[in-house]
Amino acid sequence: TVNTGTGMPNGVPKLMDLLDEPVPGVGTYEDFNTIDWVREKSKDRDRHREIATKSKESTLALMKSISDAFSGWLLMLLVGLMAGALAGGIDISAHWMTDLKEGVCLNGFWFNHEHCCWNSNETTFQERDKCPNWKSWAELIVGTNDGPFAYIMNYVMYVCWALLFSFLAVSLVRAFAPYACGSGIPEIKTILSGFIIRGYLGKWTLMIKTITLVLAVSSGLSLGKEGPLVHVACCCGNILCHLFTKYRRNEAKRREVLSAAAAVGVSVAFGAPIGGVLFSLEEVSYYFPLKTLWRSFFAALVAAFTLRSINPFGNSRLVLFYVEFHSPWHLLELIPFVLLGIFGGIWGAFFIRANIAWCRRRKTTWLGHYPVLEVLVVTAVTALLAFPNSYTRMSTSELISELFNDCGLLDSSQLCNYANVSVTKSSSDALPDRPAGQDVYTAMWQLSLALVFKMLITVVTFGMKVPSGLFIPSMAVGAIAGRLLGVGMEQLAYYHHDWVIFRGWCSPGADCITPGLYAMVGATACLGGVTRMTVSLVVIMFELTGGLEYIVPLMAATMTSKWVADALGREGIYEAHIRLNGYPFLEPKEEFSHKTLAMDVMRPRRSDPPLSVITQDGMSVEEVESLIAETSYSGFPVVVSHESQRLVGFVQRRDLVISIENARQRQEGVVSASRIFFTEYTPPQPPNSPPPLKLRGIMDLSPFTVTDHTAMDIVVDIFRKLGLRQCLVTHNGRLLGIITKKDILKHMAQMANRDPDSILFN
């Protein structure tokens, strides 16, 4: 008897029930697996086609298609609003808690130092930091702010608050969201390249990361909030994706949203929407179509607008260190700018080496077993060393803001305490170069100590079990070095304006050199040396500082720092961390230069047992189930028969398991002896045999194949450009073996003399 389901009267095969109503779970992925970009994109195209054909039939379907097209932009709007609001909250609370380490406001404990003194009528302009409403801890406890006892009291309170904040941060991360530690950018790069880490962008991670980021920044540790803000924005994007089926069900579409969310993160961190879009394009994204470019631009704009309307710093700027310089720079100043670039490159390479060595120690020795203790020790050391020096005591963003600042007549900072020269042109903003006063020399000493301190402590801090960004500490190191060089140049020009290098353009009484500009160039160079960003970094810096005429110095320093750092070590900090953690990331920038062929990399090797395959019509449910139980592969090629080994398609292990379970529950009479067919037509069954199981619907009919003599560099290119999970190898049309992404990564590691087993995923 012929099974009634096989043929319809006109000979068109009726597809199995499996295709009429898709089995839940088919086409999804396990945790720590790589997505198949090709499959996801074709799924989305099919969905699109279906909507487009339906929309011609009725008005309702047309409305549906319009709302479907609009949903992407709506999602971007929501991501921008949510990330902007969170960033504003983080900024305000971190500012308040940083000030809490030094004192408290009597009008209301929720005011930070600056806001507290705004409301006060007794504040004078000269002493704008001192007002009766703001009490330091010594004043509250001892009653006075002068004398050694008061100093010790303030010192103790500072260290205690720092320890409390960092202890809370690390405990929350450990207890509720282990994924909330670190910067998050290496993992986001890996996720965007198609890897799945469940829970990394979930609601718990978002909640804990937001809270602990404030605590970690306030504890005075040498870390910034910029990297983690990218992670926070990506969490927002991922959570909001669940509101729209188009993004919930398609991993590739969701990656497009996450690319845009990364742009939003930088946009709110630096108030640089265009820089954010370029950062996402240059640094984090793997697949970045033009549509994503427009959408991330829109989302970054919305986020910056939201942050601007919250106005976290009260000066209607989006960042703490906004500066405006007006004095022009001279061509000869490019020499010190290039020197700063060289310094940035050397420091970047040194930092990456030292930090990776330290993190490897943490992974392999007892240090890794005591994360809470490690954080507390580092915080204690940081706080004890930071308090005596006023430049390390203040928060890093305030330090950068002070270093970027150009000295005016009204500045009360130590760095601006120059010996007064009678100012002739009172109308002009720019002050002439002046001899440095005693305070400036003191400040130089303190800054030199701060430079050494920041350089060493950041190496140990980045990578601990608290949220930690790298942008701000790197910028601080560069800004200190730049400011020192800038003041040096300024004094040189003042005392030796008749030298050949200064003669043409620096007359006495003119404002020739802006030390703040050197600090800005140094910050750019150091950040470039650590992260190896180029275009996006320059754009972020000039959006940050509003200095359009300084694009050339910034570009010169950035390019120099990249060349120097690349000469000393090939990878940026994020790539190095990806490799340290063994994430399956095919670096798009890295060239594959070895002359190997597909047959050298594919499995099975010559000595191995033959490839596990499924035949298209000969196997029973029991045989397939035992094959699944005995192996751990993530998919199986389907062949015509074991003898011919001619390829039919490829089927994913997860889909196979789910479909067999589903058929056993829902389809009548499917037992272990039932035959599994991947063919279009089911041949007539012998009488009394159990009904067959037809699984052609879950088979990929167009798996990618290469021949065994394909050069490996072409195979690597195919994997990178198309985002494949696996590729089958054939010889004269017969199936020989399989190459997976893991095989390629292991092969590349072997070729580079690294340990091939360090790569983590299945």
Residue 351 shares a structural domain with residue 298: no
Q: Which amino acid is at 572?
A: G
Look at residue 128 in the predicted model and tell me its pLDDT. Answer: 62
CA-nearest of 603, 605, 552 to 740 is 603
Look at residue 423 in the predicted model and tell me its pLDDT. Answer: 47
CA-nearest of 525, 550, 548, 552 to 537 is 525
CA 565/CA 576 separation, integer angstroms: 13
Look at residue 617 in the predicted model and tell me its pLDDT. Answer: 86
User: Which of 535, 554, 581 corresponds to the end of one domain?
Assistant: 581
Q: What is the DSSP string of 522-557?
A: HHHHHHHHHH---HHHHHHHHHHH--GGGHHHHHHH
Residue 433 shares a structural domain with residue 361: yes
Look at residue 411 in the predicted model and tell me its pLDDT. Answer: 67
Asked if residue 317 belongs to a domain, the reply is: no
Q: Which residues contact 258 (CB under 8 A, 6 or more apart)?
A: 188, 191, 192, 201, 234, 237, 238
Would you give the distance in Å from CA 660 to the centre of its chain? 40
Residue 383 shares a structural domain with residue 278: no
Residue 576 shares a structural domain with residue 460: yes
Look at residue 727 in the predicted model and tell me its pLDDT. Answer: 94
Q: Cα dist. 521→72, 431, 434, 454, 482 in Å?
A: 38, 21, 22, 18, 7
3-state helix vs strand vs coil in the chain, percent to 5 = 60, 5, 35
Domain that holds residue 562: 331-581
Please state, as a whole number, how many other Cβ atoms lie within 10 Å of the Cβ of residue 595.
8
Look at residue 417 in the predicted model and tell me its pLDDT. Answer: 76
The total number of structural domains in the chain stands at 3
CATH of the domain at 290: 1.10.3080.10
Residue 627 shares a structural domain with residue 488: no
CA-nearest of 549, 84, 31, 596 to 300 is 84
Residue 341 shares a structural domain with residue 302: no
CA 129/CA 102 separation, integer angstroms: 12
Look at residue 376 in the predicted model and tell me its pLDDT. Answer: 96
**Hey, CA dihedral for 498, 501, 504, 506, is it positive or negative?**
negative
Please state, as a whole number, how many other Cβ atoms lie within 10 Å of the Cβ of residue 160.
13
Q: Report residues of the chain scoring pLDDT below 50.
A: 1-20, 422-428, 761-762
Q: Cα dist. 238→25, 73, 192 in Å?
A: 19, 15, 12
Q: Which residues contact 128 (CB under 8 A, 6 or more apart)?
A: 117, 412
Asked if residue 719 belongs to a domain, the reply is: yes
Asked if residue 64 belongs to a domain, the reply is: no
Tell me which residue has tokens 């306030």: 218
Residue 565 shares a structural domain with residue 608: no
| Distance separating the N- and C-terminal Cα atoms of the chain | 44
Quote the pTM value: 0.90
DSSP at 200: T
Asked if residue 174 belongs to a domain, the reply is: yes
CA-nearest of 229, 416, 459, 226 to 321 is 226
Peptide bond into 604 cis (omega under 30): yes
Tell me which residue has tokens 């924005």: 233
Name the burial class of residue 31, with classes exposed (0-12), middle (13-18) and buried (19+) by CB atoms within 10 angstroms of its CB.
exposed
Please count the CA atoms within 13 angstroms of the CA of 487 that sit on its side-chain side: 27
Residue 376 shares a structural domain with residue 497: yes
Asked if residue 528 belongs to a domain, the reply is: yes
Tokens of 310: 């919250």
**Which residue(s) pair with 735 in the sheet?**
730
Q: Cα dist. 526→453, 482, 565, 649 in Å?
A: 16, 10, 10, 51
* Torsion, CA 454, CA 458, CA 460, CA 461, rounded to 10: 120
Residue 648 and residue 616 in contact, taking contact as beta carbons nearer than 8 Å: yes
CA 45/CA 43 separation, integer angstroms: 6
Q: Cα dist. 450→320, 443, 460 in Å?
A: 20, 10, 16
Residue 272 shares a structural domain with residue 413: no
Residue 300 shares a structural domain with residue 335: no
Name the burial class of residue 364, with classes exposed (0-12), middle (13-18) and buried (19+) by CB atoms within 10 angstroms of its CB.
exposed
Using H for helix, E for strand and C for coil, what is the string for 261-322?
Answer: HHHHHHHHHHCCHHHHHHHHHHHHCCCCCHHHHHHHHHHHHHHHHHHHHHCCCCCCCCCCCC
User: Which of 551, 581, 611 corresponds to the end of one domain?
Assistant: 581
In the chain, DSSP finds a helix count (H) and a strand count (E) of: 29, 10
Q: What are phi and psi of 632, to 5 degrees?
A: -125, 20
CA 173/CA 22 separation, integer angstroms: 39
Residue 430 and residue 327 in contact, taking contact as beta carbons nearer than 8 Å: yes
Residue 98 shares a structural domain with residue 230: yes
Please state, as a whole number, how many other Cβ atoms lie within 10 Å of the Cβ of residue 545.
22
Residue 327 and residue 553 in contact, taking contact as beta carbons nearer than 8 Å: no
For residue 403, the surrounding DSSP H or E stretch is: helix 396-404
Query: Three-state DSSP class for 83?
Result: helix
Asked if residue 37 belongs to a domain, the reply is: no
Asked if residue 613 belongs to a domain, the reply is: yes
Residue 354 shares a structural domain with residue 474: yes
Tell me which residue has tokens 């790298």: 470
Name the burial class of residue 617, with classes exposed (0-12), middle (13-18) and buried (19+) by CB atoms within 10 angstroms of its CB.
middle
User: Which of 276, 310, 344 corresponds to the end of one domain?
Assistant: 310
Q: What is the DSSP string of 15-48?
A: PPHHHHSPPTTTT---TT-B--HHHHHHHHHHHH
CATH of the domain at 710: 3.10.580.20
Q: Which residues contact 512 (CB under 8 A, 6 or more apart)?
A: 327, 330, 433, 490, 493, 497, 502, 505, 506
Q: What are phi and psi of 382, to 5 degrees?
A: -60, -50
CA-nearest of 527, 520, 513, 512 to 552 is 520
Q: Which residues contact 375 (CB under 8 A, 6 or more apart)?
A: 166, 167, 169, 170, 464, 465, 466
Asked if residue 221 belongs to a domain, the reply is: yes
Q: What is the DSSP string of 154-197?
A: HHHHHHHHHHHHHHHHHHHHHHH-GGGSB-SHHHHHHHHTTB--
Look at residue 648 in the predicted model and tell me its pLDDT. Answer: 92
Query: Three-state DSSP class for 3?
Result: coil
